[in-house]
Amino acid sequence: MDPFSEVIRVLSDVLAPHGPVVAGVKTMSPSDYSIHFFLQLAVIVLTCRVVGWLGQKFLGQPQVVGEMIAGVVLGPSLLGLLFPEIQAAIFPKESKNVLYVGAQLGVGLYMFLVGTTLRIDHFKSKAKSAMTVSFSGILVPFLLAALITPMLLGVPGLFTPGISQASATLFLGACIALTAFPMLARIIHERGLSNTSLGTLSLTAGAFDDAVSWCVLAVVLATFGGGPGVAILAIGGGLLWAGIVVLFGGKLLAPLARAVEAKGEMSPTILAVVLIAFCTSAFFMDVVGIHAIFGGFILGVVMPRGLFADELRKKIEPLAVVLLLPMFFTYSGLNTRMDMVNSVELLLIAFGILIVSILAKFGACYAAARFSGEDNRTALGIGVLMNSRGLMELIIINIGLQKGIIGPTLFSMLVLMAIVTTVMASPLFEVVYGKKARETGELDELKGGMVAAAA
């Protein structure tokens, strides 16, 4: 064989597995994982930027919404449907574990950055209203989930055979009650709401809703076969670690903040200490069964403000948001099979879940905000923001799929619900709150926030 033909042969074989044969199947070697990982990163970032740009330009959507859609585009629902061989070559099944780890790092760092922007003073002033909104946004979804779950259990393939009605109800209720906390933060920053009471009330209520949903998920996992120890460890361990971070984190970090203020910048050593603390907090929350992202968020909340927080965002944000976070959307997209919703009955079920989810979350949070004394426009804004589910929904339904609670069909329906409710949030918020607020001078013109700067 001539050298040119040999080069062509080698290049055509570059994405094939080169490891040992196990059970009659050739496996991937360490270098194969590396080759695929960097190719995947290039494809993921390119696709996310392009789809995100299109969403911003033509639909007025935040970059993150485009990234959610890009994840589905790269999965079996589009790329795998049109070009299955190409999709399988770029994203072989064996490489998913590597992609998963990168995805968790990205979403954990993102939530850490979100935590650094939480206004504690607004939280204190709006605690009562936030708890009212949050409680309503949890209670109503669970009540409606209890009504529709018996019907869903009668449809083969939605829930895993043998799951109890109670476990199925709790899981579906948690999915409907979730608020896309990172997405909520992104909209709030991009719409110039970071320093408003509406923004902080929504963030506070969203954080509590998600924490409760994770605790409910722990109970579901326990009743589904994990044992009561799973729920006890998740709830007790999560509260214990959060308490330790809140009580002692600020005091331990104060000397570092003073050093940054004195020098006028954050040194690599201080950055290393913060990243070690982040990994430790994420580790403990992951170990107890809540999720690494809550470890990142709770640590971000206690980070010193001022120059210290500004330097953290300056150093961490671009890499976390542009490179790492898109991996999570793609990982979710690889598990999404829209082609499985392939009958009139399943389409009606998907539509029904979407409508119930919107009515439960938006309606309950709007009513609770009005009851708490907020004006109609503010209450509508809160209801719209709390109804977006994006990132958090993808996380919890991925866990449900991996743990065998739900099947791929219901997973795809819930992905669709997450995308639609998230896409709705930004334009609806402009209609009910943002446009009028800018006309009256309450808000500045649309501007990029913490994460939008990297978009």
DSSP element (H, E) containing 25: strand 25-26
Model confidence at 455: pLDDT above 70: no
Q: What is the pLDDT of residue 453?
A: 33
Which residues face 25 on adjacent strands?
22
Quick one: pLDDT band at residue 4, thresholds 50, 70, 90?
low
Q: Match 């509406």 to its residue by tokens.
A: 198
pLDDT band at 139 (very low <50, low <70, confident <90, very high): very high
Query: What is the rounded CA–CA span in Å between residue 393 and residue 421?
Result: 10
Does an H or E element contain 21, and which? strand 21-22
Is residue 108 within 8 Å of residue 300, measured between CB atoms?
no
Question: What is the share, in percent, of the chain residues with pLDDT greater than 90?
Answer: 31
Contact between residue 388 and residue 187 where contact means Cβ atoms under 8 Å apart? yes
* pLDDT, averaged across the chain: 83
Would strands 25-26 and 21-22 be described as parallel, antiparallel, or unpaired?
antiparallel
pLDDT tops 80 at residue 450: no
Per-residue pLDDT of 213-237, as tens digits, reads 777 777 776 666 556 777 788 778 8
Tokens 């009028």 belong to which residue?
436
Q: Residue 206 and residue 211: Cα distance in Å, rounded?
A: 9
User: Given pLDDT bands bounded at 50, 70 and 90, which one contains residue 294?
Assistant: confident
The whole-angstrom separation of Cα 340 and Cα 389 is 22
Percent of the chain with pLDDT over 70: 87
Give 160 or 269, the one with higher predicted confidence.
Answer: 269
Q: Are 152 and 165 in contact (CB under 8 A)?
A: no
Higher-scoring residue by pLDDT: 179, 252: 252
Q: How do residues 63-87 score in pLDDT, each as one tens digit?
A: 878 888 898 899 888 898 888 888 9
Radius of gyration of the chain from Cα atoms? 22
Q: What pLDDT was estimated at residue 449?
A: 38
- What pLDDT, on a 0 to 100 scale, did the predictor assign at position 8? 55
CB 249 within 8 A of CB 299: yes
Spatial separation of the C-alpha atoms in residues 157 and 163, rounded to whole Å: 12
Contacts of 442 (CB under 8 A, 6+ apart): none
Can you read off the two tokens belonging to residue 75? 């999965």
**pLDDT of res. 192:** 65
CA dihedral of 369, 370, 376, 379, whole degrees rounded to 10: 10
- From residue 376, give the alpha-carbon distance in Å to each of 78, 133, 148, 400, 445: 41, 14, 30, 37, 22
Highest mean pLDDT among 142-146, 177-181, 343-347: 142-146
Backbone angles phi, psi at 449, to 5 degrees: -110, -155
**pLDDT at residue 9, as a whole number:** 55
The first and second tokens of residue 93, run together, are 């099944």
Structure confidence at residue 337 as a pLDDT band (50, 70, 90): confident
**Contact between residue 186 and residue 175 where contact means Cβ atoms under 8 Å apart:** no
* Pair of tokens at residue 135: 């409680």
Could you list the beta-strand ranges (E) of 6-144: 21-22, 25-26
Whether residue 117 has pLDDT greater than 70: yes
Q: pLDDT digits over 297-333, tens only?
A: 889 989 999 899 999 999 998 899 899 989 988 988 8
- Find tokens 């199925």 and name the residue: 168
- Going by C-alpha positions, the residue among 355, 337, 354 that lies closest to residue 409 is 337
Instruction: Residue 119: name the closest of 27, 203, 205 by CA.
Output: 203
